[in-house]
Amino acid sequence: MADRAQEAAGREWARHWQYAELPGLDLLRAHYVRHTFPRHAHDGYVIAAVTGGVEEVGLPGGIVRAGPGSVVLINPEVPHTARAGVPEGWAYATLYPSRELIAEVAAEIGGLRGTPGFTADHVTDPQTSYVITEVHRAAEEGNALAADTLLRGAVARMLTRHAGPLPARTVRGAGAVGAAAARAVLLERMARPPSLEQLAAELGTSPFALLRAFRERYGMPPHTWLTDARVRRARALLDEGTTPAEAAVAVGFTDQPHLNRHFTRIVGVPPGAYRRERSGGGAAAGR
């Protein structure tokens, strides 16, 4: 009820958390108006039920406009953006199942070969959209049996109706090797990365050629990819109990405000609120 009141008043709010009885799953329920998500990607999958307003999702194939009753489906490592598509913003309930959870459900229902991937980026499915909101409700009420049952039902329905082999992003020739090598260097030297010119020189290529190959392979330029990777690493550190200030330094941000800005833009909640939820002491985070 409080969430509905905040939405009616045009206020932003968000809760990003985990329910211990649903391993391999992150949950986000939010209402955003001014907030925009920059280009980023996820380790796992995204299954998002839009419950109000309109969300505009920028995907490699174009812009998707999703309203109430829609379910947005995004595969691992697919770069995307998100923003409000109408002045009042959008509200949604999102499931972030891990690759392992998706594989487990796919194996249970059968019929899918290899690693499953969604073949649609959004579908109109009010029934599944409602079930996703009920997963959140059951988890928030501590009803593990209902939450797990509803979760598996929603995932199975999406996989049965809208999935096939996970498509692979490929880059031809030496560009693929160079892009992968650049990614490995950036991961290894995340806190003190080289410049694009230095990175290209180390790999024996030109800055422009490396930039082009990297964008083609990962859907974003190296500096954007690095910011996303830093936020992912910071999330892992916060999950382990690291403080936001320590995490900021560890991943290469200049200070905690620097982490706060990028973390909030990409994850949807500030790192402090994210960490409080992981420690079991959080409530819906005001925005």
pLDDT, tens digit, for every residue of 36-85? Answer: 999 999 999 999 999 999 999 999 999 999 999 999 999 999 999 999 99
The pLDDT score that the predictor gives to residue 111 is 78
Max avg pLDDT among 63-72, 175-184, 273-282:
63-72
Q: Is 228 left (phi over 0), alpha (psi -120 to 50) or beta?
A: alpha
Q: What is the mean pLDDT of residues 90-111?
A: 95
The pLDDT score that the predictor gives to residue 244 is 96
pTM here is 0.91
The pLDDT score that the predictor gives to residue 169 is 65
The pLDDT score that the predictor gives to residue 1 is 46
pLDDT bracket for residue 112 (50, 70, 90): confident
Pairing assessment for the beta strands 46-53 and 90-97 based on DSSP bridges = antiparallel
What are the tens digits of pLDDT across the range 3-14?
Answer: 655 555 568 999
Q: What is the mean pLDDT of residues 222-232?
A: 98
Q: CB-based contacts of 263: which residues, under 8 Å, 6+ apart?
A: 231, 234, 235, 270, 271, 274
Task: Say if residue 200 is exposed, middle or buried (CB neighbours under 10 Å; 0-12, 13-18, 19+).
Answer: buried
Letter for the amino acid at 209?
A: A
What are the tens digits of pLDDT across the range 203-221?
Answer: 999 999 999 999 999 999 9
The pLDDT score that the predictor gives to residue 283 is 40
CA dihedral for 132, 138, 139, 140, sign (positive or negative): positive
Q: Which CA distances in Å does 70 have to 2, 94, 186, 227?
A: 24, 12, 37, 30
The pLDDT score that the predictor gives to residue 113 is 80
pLDDT bracket for residue 166 (50, 70, 90): confident
Q: What is the DSSP-derived secondary structure letter of residue 255? A: S
The pLDDT score that the predictor gives to residue 173 is 65
The chain-wide mean pLDDT, for the chain, equals: 92
Q: What is the mean pLDDT of residues 129-137?
A: 98
User: 171 and 183 in contact (C-beta within 8 Å)?
Assistant: no
pLDDT(168) > 80: no
Q: What is the mean pLDDT of residues 170-196?
A: 88
Assign 219 to helix, strand or coil: coil
The pLDDT score that the predictor gives to residue 247 is 97
Tokens of 128: 């599944």
pLDDT bracket for residue 284 (50, 70, 90): very low
Strand-pair partners of 34: none
